[in-house]
Amino acid sequence: MRVARRKQSLGGQSMIRDMITAMDHWALQDPERLAYDDLGHTNTYGELKQRSDALAAHLDNMALPAHAPIMVYGGQTFDMMATFLGIVKSGHAYVPIDTHSPVERITTINDIAHPAAAIAVSALPTTLGDTPIIDGSTLNTIFDQHVDYQVTHGVSGDETYYIIFTSGTTGKPKGVQISHTNLLSYVNWMLSDDFKLPQAPRTLSQAPYSFDLSVMDWGPTLAAGGTLVALPKQVTDNFKALFETLPTMNLNVWVSTPSFVDICLMEPTFDASHYPNLSRFLFCGEELTHATASNLHQRFPKARIFNTYGPTETTVAVTQVEITEQILADYPRLPIGYTKDDTRITVVDDQLHPLPAGTEGELLISGPSMSKGYLNNPEKTAKAFIKMAGKTVYRSGDLGVQLDNGLIMYRGRTDFQIKLHGYRIELEEVNHYLSQEDHIQVGVAVPRYDRNHKVSQLIAWIVPATHEFTNELDLTKAIKENLQGGDMMAYMIPQRFVYKESLPMTPNGKVDIKSIIAEVNQ
Amino acid sequence: MDIKQTVLDILNDLTGSDVSGAMDDNLFDSGLMDSMGSVQLLLQLQSQLGVNVPVSEFERSEWDTPNKIIAKVESLA
């Protein structure tokens, strides 16, 4: 066996040296162990190895250009996991594309990535030019074969393991290349005492595999011999089905965006007495609000809740903090956490000079989980991955403050920073105050620009909480009065309030601020 | 209160479009509604009409056109 397993000094889990051998290890040791549970339809680690071996052998025979990426189209199914593993066993990187992606995005990614092949685990809704396609029935025939496959040229070291395309609501999507080294750094951290995940957990797999939040569920779970429990979009979309399915999943570890757990918290039975084995909640992808975390803590008082932060470019997440009662008491806006051991985060000013603790600036991230850059895009790579003192660091575009105790506080995006009448305003800071106001369920502020591209107004789009006002004017008056009496600087209070039933969301479940900015500036 | 008009007003606000001319069109298929929209619909029905729909009983296929939503709300009001 290639894997050398050694005990970490702090953790009960072992350090992983190779993702492929770590997953195959469970097939060799315990082939009947469950790797995947798709609404009661289960697959074992033995099947994961057999199918991925068969696919790797098939890909080897195709004699594709070495290391060339392969596109994979499908939903949250076991065959997707087997396909990913087969691809990396044959030395290629995979580009996951979810079934709910618009056709245009699929063809754009095909144009950018020039994949050596595409595997349609689900039927592709479009042709892909010259790219050879392995369709579903061919894939099933391959998966039926039992081959004796030796992994001799699997993805390793700096070779690219997966490529995830960022949403990119403006311009071309960027393909973030994550190497085997990047992934190992991330997965070993997840398996360390920083999270103390249960042994071989049953983990929620709700995020689409094209969203790197999903790596937070499958990475540590399959490396540690746990079971991925799929919750596909067709179930989460239908709340009746969602709440019929959730209690049957027998989950130990929850991974989702805060927005998704907010839906679940609408159901009063989503609590520890109905989910007695659910002991970890891991959040990433957007800001975890104090309201969501404290509500969840009340429902699951014994579960451990973790907030994490990280750009796709540094592999899923690079900071973590457990949201304890003490943290909830101490921080009205929750910290994003402490930097993982092997990574360095430096807070810098706009001239890239390091700033002392307590000062707000852009977060620069470097370490073994930092990507080599964007696929076939040297220009964007050079802009985001810069040299500093002879070392490459990633410019996150995220603003933060490091406190004296090492905790990092998120303060918004550099590109959502505006100036209004000379005042520097962070839209996300305004949003934070808006969302704390009693009459506001969710609120975001966006700038309206004048002809000279200067911000003329701050406009708030508000989803109001239940209220007794008979007209919007009275509601606006009440909100403004509360904001003026609170912690918010007067110049940060939006001039106009627009009331909405809901806010537009990105496919990944975040409020789509860019589309709101576009709409108010039409 | 006119349930039909209130529901249509809620839907118009939610979807940003006037759905009164397409009462049997599937709001989810057309992309006008999604999960977050459903959550908002339930909250608004509660606050504007006092209709309580437990989220666990929200079967999407029973709520996917304006006519179905109106019929549902009338049966619950």
DSSP class of A368: T
**Nearest residue in chain B measured CA to CA from A243:** B56
pLDDT for residue A278: 98
Cβ-defined contact of B60 to A266 (cutoff 8 Å): no
Looking at this predicted complex, what is its ipTM?
0.84
Nearest chain B CA: its distance from A39 CA (Å): 18
Test the A interface: residue of B12, B41, B53, B56 with most A CBs within 10 Å: B56
Cβ-defined contact of B60 to A259 (cutoff 8 Å): no
> Within a domain: residue A335?
no
A134-138, A314-318, A346-350: least confidently modelled range: A346-350
The CATH number assigned to the domain holding A515 equals: 3.30.300.30
Count of domains observed in chain A? 3
A428 and A456 in a single domain? The answer is yes
Helix (H, G, I), strand (E, B) or coil at A74: strand
Distances (CA, A) of B75 to A2, A24, A267, B53: 64, 55, 22, 11
The answer to whether the CB of A457 falls within 8 A of the CB of A450 is no
- Distance separating alpha carbons of residues A257 and A206, to the nearest angstrom: 9
Residue of B16 and A94 predicted with greater confidence: A94
**Average pLDDT of the residues in A491-497:** 83
A243 chain-B contacts, CB cut-off 8 A: 55-56
pLDDT for residue B46: 87
SS (H, E, C) A188-222: HHHCCCCCCCCCCCEEEECCCCCCCHHHHHHHHHH
Cβ-defined contact of B41 to A501 (cutoff 8 Å): yes
Cβ-defined contact of B43 to A267 (cutoff 8 Å): no
Test the A interface: residue of B19, B36, B43 with most A CBs within 10 Å: B36
Cβ-defined contact of B39 to A502 (cutoff 8 Å): yes
A294 and A356 in a single domain? The answer is no
Q: pLDDT above 90 covers what percent of chain A?
A: 70
A276 and A393 in a single domain? The answer is no
- Distance separating alpha carbons of residues A221 and A230, to the nearest angstrom: 12
A109 and A152 in a single domain? The answer is yes
- Distance separating alpha carbons of residues A138 and A118, to the nearest angstrom: 12
Which one of A330, A358, A377 terminates a domain? Answer: A330
pLDDT band at residue A341, thresholds of 50, 70 and 90? Answer: very high
User: Is residue A253 scored above 60 in pLDDT?
Assistant: yes
DSSP class of A234: H
User: Is residue B6 scored above 50 in pLDDT?
Assistant: yes
A269 chain-B contacts, CB cut-off 8 A: 56
pLDDT for residue A7: 37
A314 and A348 in a single domain? The answer is no
Cβ-defined contact of B54 to A236 (cutoff 8 Å): no
Cβ-defined contact of B38 to A239 (cutoff 8 Å): yes
CA B62 from chain centre, in angstroms, equals 10
Q: Which of B28, B38, B40 sits opposite A463 (nearest CB)?
A: B40
Q: At B13, which helix (H) or strand (E)?
A: helix B3-15
> Within a domain: residue A456?
yes
User: Is residue A154 scored above 50 in pLDDT?
Assistant: yes
> Within a domain: residue A510?
yes
Helix (H, G, I), strand (E, B) or coil at A158: coil
Test the A interface: residue of B39, B59, B62 with most A CBs within 10 Å: B39
A241 chain-B contacts, CB cut-off 8 A: 59-60
**Nearest residue in chain A measured CA to CA from B37:** A502
A259 and A125 in a single domain? The answer is yes
> Within a domain: residue A386?
yes
Cβ-defined contact of A239 to B34 (cutoff 8 Å): no
B42 chain-A contacts, CB cut-off 8 A: 266
pLDDT for residue B31: 63
A305 and A362 in a single domain? The answer is no
Cβ-defined contact of B35 to A502 (cutoff 8 Å): no
B29 chain-A contacts, CB cut-off 8 A: none
A266 chain-B contacts, CB cut-off 8 A: 39, 42, 55
- Distance separating alpha carbons of residues A34 and A26, to the nearest angstrom: 10
* CA B49-B51-B57 angle, 5° bins: 150
Cβ-defined contact of B14 to A263 (cutoff 8 Å): no
A462 and A407 in a single domain? The answer is no
Structural tokens at position A346: 């430096």
Distances (CA, A) of B29 to A263, A505, B40, B65: 21, 17, 18, 10
pLDDT band at residue A452, thresholds of 50, 70 and 90? Answer: low
The CATH number assigned to the domain holding A305 equals: 3.40.50.12780
A302 and A279 in a single domain? The answer is yes
The CATH number assigned to the domain holding A396 equals: 2.30.38.10
Nearest chain A CA: its distance from B68 CA (Å): 15
Residue by residue, DSSP assigns B35-75 as HHHHHHHHHHHHHHH-----GGG--GGGSSSHHHHHHHHHH
A310 and A352 in a single domain? The answer is no
Q: Which of B10, B28, B56 sits opposite A501 (nearest CB)?
A: B10
B60 chain-A contacts, CB cut-off 8 A: 237-241
A279 and A355 in a single domain? The answer is no
A135 and A234 in a single domain? The answer is yes
Nearest Cα neighbor of A190 from A23, A407, A340 is: A340
**Average pLDDT of the residues in A136-157:** 98
pLDDT for residue A5: 39
Q: At A307, which helix (H) or strand (E)?
A: strand A304-309
pLDDT band at residue A9, thresholds of 50, 70 and 90? Answer: very low
B55 chain-A contacts, CB cut-off 8 A: 239, 243, 263, 266-267
What are the tens digits of pLDDT across the range B17-45? 678 888 998 888 766 677 777 887 888 89
Cβ-defined contact of B43 to A237 (cutoff 8 Å): no
pTM of the model: 0.82
- Residue A109 domain boundaries: 6-330
pLDDT for residue B17: 62
Domain assignments of chain B as residue spans, ordered by start: 3-15+26-76
- Distance separating alpha carbons of residues A93 and B12, to the nearest angstrom: 45
User: Is residue A417 scored above 60 in pLDDT?
Assistant: yes
B3-15+26-76 architecture in CATH? Orthogonal Bundle (1.10)
